[in-house]
Amino acid sequence: MSWTDERVETLKRMWSEGQSASAIAKELGGVTRNAVIGKVHRLGLSNRNDEPEPAPVPAPEPAIGSGAEKKIDRKPAPAAEPARPEPQPEVAAVPADPVKEEPVTPPVFTPVPRRPIVPAGQPLPPQPSANEISPETLASVREVEKRAKKLTLMELTERTCKWPIGDPATEKFWFCGLPSQAGKPYCDAHVSVAFQPMSSRRDRRR
């Protein structure tokens, strides 16, 4: 394979889209990711940084006192552990006195961390229902889920378990992420609840 104009164009496009070298190589075919990276460099488009330069660190200028400061003695600074803020409960504190309360927030767009919107009636992630899975298997799954890697959607790969755990409407939601069975989307435990032979499924009413 050679770098025809068309192939180079595809390379440029995908690279600018942020695609990985391996993904591009896969798309093009006949080349390895090394070849792609090599070409990328030769084309001089290695810098995918169109970012507006991450602000040259606004050095927190200490307020200059009126008196002429002598020296700025830098302590070795024993690296004081940054105080870890305890995770606050999500419930916003309700003003004790709504009448006296000053309007703290202007009626403009408030960048309150939005949570994923799940339409009403959206079925929850598949959860092994007790009447279809044996108690043993169910217990096994529960146990496995304690060790879930808790991956986000973007962290899933072809070989991570994609079984959803929790309620997508809340923060307590993630994907299992344990090693998936070869060729399957789930890990062993979740495969066992996800794929059931018709025979065992049939007639398991109540």
Partner DNA sequence: CCCTGATTCGC
Partner DNA sequence: GCGAATCAGG
Residues that bind DNA (CB under 7 A): 1-3, 19-23, 31-35, 37-42, 46, 157-159
Tell me the C-alpha to C-alpha distance, in Å, between residue 126 and each of 77, 179, 194, 204: 51, 19, 9, 18
The alpha carbon torsion through 64, 68, 70, 74 (nearest 10 deg) reads: 0
DSSP structure class, residue 164 = E
Nearer CB in complex with DNA: 21/165: 21
Residue 20 or 134: the one with the smaller Cβ distance to DNA is 20
What's the min distance (Å) between Cβ of 92 and DNA? 33
Closest separation between CB of residue 58 and DNA, Å? Answer: 23
Smallest distance from DNA to CB 204, Å: 37
Backbone angle region of 44, left / alpha / beta, with phi > 0 → left and psi within -120 to 50 → alpha? left
Q: Closer CB to DNA, residue 29 or residue 106?
A: 29
Which residue's entry shows tokens 């606050």? 88
For the bound state, the minimum distance from the C-beta of residue 24 to DNA, rounded and expressed in Å, comes to 8
Nearer to DNA, 3 or 168 (CB): 3
Minimum distance of DNA from residue 39's CB (angstroms) = 5
Q: Cα separation of 38 and 8, whole Å?
A: 12
Residue 112's alpha-carbon distances to 90, 122, 168, in angstroms, are 12, 23, 18
Taking the least distance from each CB to DNA, the nearer of 45 and 139 is 45
Q: Residues 165, 176: contact at Cβ < 8 Å?
A: yes
Structure tokens of 6?
Answer: 């068309």
